[in-house]
Amino acid sequence: MIRKILSAAATATCVVGLGLALTGASAGPPDDVPTYNGQVGALLIENCASCHRPNQIGPMSLLSYQEARRWAHAIKSKVVSREMPPWPADPSYGRFSNDISLSDEEIATIVAWVDGGVPEGEGDSPAVPQYSADGWSHPSGRDPDIVLRFPIEWQIPAEGETPNFNLVTPLGLDEGVRVEATEVRPGNLAATHHITTRLINIPPGMQVATAPAWPGGPVVDYVMVPDPDFDPASAPANAPPSSEEQGASEGFGAYIPGVGARVTPEGRSRYIRGDLFTHILWNLHYQATGLPESARPEIGIWLASGDDEGVPSRERGLGLNEVTSEGKQLIAPPPRPREARAPGEFTQVGQGLNPLLDPIPPHDADWTVTGIGALQNDAYIQSLFVHAHLRGKDFTFLLTRPDGTEEILLRVPEYRFDWQYTYELAEPIFAPAGSTVKMIARYDNSRENRLNPAPHKETYWSEQSWDDMFLTTVNYTLASEGGARAVSP
Amino acid sequence: MIHHITLSYVALIAVTWPAGVQGQRAQPRGPEPQVPIVQTLGCVEARNGSTTTWWLTRAAEPTVTNDDVFNENEVEAARSSALGSGEFQLIGVADFLDAASLLRFGDRAEFTTDDQVNATNQLRQGGTALVKGLLIADDARQDASARINLLMVVALADGCG
């Protein structure tokens, strides 16, 4: 059974323009009219209540007949338009375990229920899961088994721009753990643009110390800086990699709009290598709200059940380099020697975002960027992720196998900043060594894009929401580490 | 049971855990690549059969590299580099052809139109190109031409040799 994961959050726009009319229930509906107790209640609880319940981001609760009845016409309107539950992927390509879209039959059931007078029906109400009292969004309602809290309450000024920055805290796990879900919670929804987390080791020549969080920023603990006592001559000639082999990384997950717990498909737990990594790298991006704010993010970890055994393997991330844009092959400037770089460059602020891309011209509705990544070993693709800001328009992932065949893995024809899913493949896709994954992106800087804050301006590439980003990841496991069973022992 | 690992607890672990112990942890290493990323240059040739295939002929000996985009120094150096005698079939070519050819490729026309297409036209019949990609040697095939699954292509000249 495909696990329904409601990790997305409803926005206030859900209810804009919708009538709030109360709808009366009829006592004796015709036999062919669905009822709340018979069919509709279970549908709403399974597909909507992860967001539409107390302490979640959905603007109204839909856990009971009395609650659902009030919003019946709004529910009908939103499901018929497929605006809710939000799932931006084109159903023509790929099957995803966290697909929360309703089937045509399910939509017809809700429509018939509303048109039939919103009957409650006979019998008991559908069972409501025991949801987490702390607001964690695992669909089972369970609280996480482990919570890793950010060590300090971060202070966000009321005004001004806060750059994207990195802090590094000890991991606190000394062994590998098999997990079925992780969730990164921001601690402050309004002031958080995104948080990503990654497991790392401290590279030779670096240390974690008290220092400015970014050049000119507040002085805090947990900043990775050069170690002044480091003697390069004492470093091993073949120093181990500080994080992973090139192109790979390992993350707990991210907080980005619309994303809650990242739950693996059934039987495919992830393996978090606490035995290999020592620290968590938090990439933090906050935005001013007009009021002084604070935030203390945390990571929830749900351990896999004891009967989920087998050869553990970890999920790796393949970032796709932007390679072409607007019909141009991108070419980098000549490399600069390390001594020519500014102090702190490439270590603290930002991520060197898309430095080769030209800005998107004003009013351009179809600005293209293509990224390509190489899979050098037999792999199983497990999930796909794309991140852009308000100009993001549509995105297509393609797999090119070594025999030259090409397959569309995922199409997101109407990207929405509010719903940034990791698309979990229902079945891992085998990619033989020598495959490439391409992601073709389009951006809309025109006034037709109703989310566009400034169609008359060039759009640059940065972490700030008023600029844009090309950031995409293919999560995979190695066949040599267990193949498709790598995360599904 | 929930384990809340807070600042003080984690910091205590860090302070009391000698750095040498951390250093003894197994270091994550990736496996040796089954397929290398290489770069080479050669002459671009389109061969028409039931479908058009693209080849790099008179190719220089490939050199193992990484997946970074070419930089200006590398492109400039390639302009004065010698051709060779290698031959590679090129795959994953669509994004490096002209727009019309890209739209005929696979399912591309399902999501791309002529006015939206991101086609570089760096892979041109008869031209010289610098390419980077995954080098796939298929020993099981009798017609065993090695293939390069393209990551990037830079046209160096309209002619070749």
Beta strands in A238-387 (DSSP E): 253-255, 262-263, 270-272, 279-286, 293-295, 298-303, 316-319, 321-325, 328-329, 367-375, 379-387
Residue A477: C-alpha distances to residues A313, A341, A430, B130 (Å): 7, 35, 10, 31
Helices A104-115, A72-80: axis angle to 10 degrees equals 150
In chain A, what are the domain boundaries? 12-115, 130-309, 311-328+337-489
| pLDDT recorded at residue A274 | 79
Its ipTM equals 0.83
Can you tell me the mean pLDDT for B3-20? 28
Which residues have a Cβ under 8 Å from the Cβ of A481 and sit 6 or more positions away?
A: A311, A313, A314
Element holding A428 (H helix, E strand)? strand A422-431
DSSP readout, A157-188?
A: -SSSPPPPEEEEEE----S-EEEEEEEEE-S-
CB pair distance less than 8 Å for B119 and A323: no
Third-level CATH fold of A130-309:
Jelly Rolls (2.60.120)
Residue A259 φ/ψ, nearest 5 degrees: -115, 130
CB pair distance less than 8 Å for B29 and A240: yes
DSSP readout, chain B?
A: --EEE-HHHHHHHHHHS-HHHHHTSPPP-PPPPSS-EEEEEEEEEEEESSSEEEEEEEEPPPEE--SSPPBHHHHHHHHT----SEEEEEES-GGGS-HHHHHTSTTGGGT--TTT--------TT-EEEEEEEEE--TT-TT---EEEEEEEEEEESS--
pLDDT digits (tens, 9 = 90+) for A358-373: 999 999 999 999 999 9
pLDDT digits (tens, 9 = 90+) for A250-282: 667 778 766 678 887 777 777 777 777 888 889
| pLDDT recorded at residue A244 | 40
Q: How far apart (Å, rounded) are the C-alpha atoms in residues A65 and A79?
A: 18
For chain B, first and last CA: distance in Å? 71
pLDDT digits (tens, 9 = 90+) for A425-456: 999 999 999 999 999 999 999 999 988 989 99
pLDDT band for position A24 (50/70/90)?
very low
pLDDT digits (tens, 9 = 90+) for A218-245: 999 999 888 888 776 666 544 444 444 3
pLDDT digits (tens, 9 = 90+) for A67-84: 999 999 999 999 999 989
Asked if residue B124 lies in contact with residue B92, where contact means CB atoms within 8 angstroms, the answer is no
Strand duo B86-91 + B147-157: pairing: parallel
Q: Which amino acid is at A235?
A: A
| pLDDT recorded at residue B28 | 44
Give the pTM.
0.77
Q: How far apart (Å, rounded) are the C-alpha atoms in residues A87 and A94?
A: 13
Smallest CA–CA distance from B75 into chain A, residue: A331
Unique residue bearing structure tokens 């400015």: A212
Count of Cβ atoms closer than 10 Å to residue A486 Cβ: 27
Can you tell me the mean pLDDT for B154-159? 97
Q: Which has the minimum average pLDDT: A201-210, B44-53, B133-142?
A: B133-142
Residue B41 φ/ψ, nearest 5 degrees: -135, 155
Of B5, B70, B75, the CB nearest to A172: B5
Element holding A305 (H helix, E strand)? none
Q: How far apart (Å, rounded) are the C-alpha atoms in residues A6 and A49?
A: 8
Strand partners, A478: A379
Question: Going by CATH, does the domain composed of B36-157 fall within 2.60.40?
Answer: no
Residue A6 has pLDDT above 60, yes or no: no
| A–B interface: beta-carbon pairs under 8 A | 198
CA A88, chain centre distance (Å): 13
Q: What is the CATH number of domain A311-328+337-489?
A: 2.60.120.230
Residue A306 has pLDDT above 70, yes or no: no
- Specify burial of residue B88 (Cβ count, 10 A radius: 0-12, 13-18, 19+): buried
Highest mean pLDDT (candidates A56-60, A147-151, A177-181): A147-151
| pLDDT recorded at residue A51 | 79
| pLDDT recorded at residue A338 | 58
Whether the domain at A130-309 and the domain at A311-328+337-489 fall into the same CATH topology: yes
pLDDT digits (tens, 9 = 90+) for A184-193: 998 888 888 8
Q: For an interface test with A, which of B1, B124, B134 has the most A Cβ atoms less than 10 Å from its Cβ?
A: B134
State whether residue B142 sits within 8 Å of chain A by CB: no
Of A151, A330, A411, the CB nearest to B7: A151
In chain A, % of residues over pLDDT 90: 43
Q: For an interface test with A, which of B35, B37, B54, B98 has the most A Cβ atoms less than 10 Å from its Cβ?
A: B35
CB pair distance less than 8 Å for A404 and B92: yes
Unique residue bearing structure tokens 């020993």: B139
Tokens of A306: 């004891």
Q: Would you call A213 helix, strand, or coil by DSSP? A: coil
Residue count (chain B): 161
Q: How far apart (Å, rounded) are the C-alpha atoms in residues A151 and A106?
A: 45
Residue A380 has pLDDT above 60, yes or no: yes
CB-CB neighbors (< 8 A) of A412 in chain B: none
Can you tell me the mean pLDDT for A25-45? 81
Our separate counts of H helices and E strands in chain A read 4, 23
pLDDT band for position A135 (50/70/90)?
confident
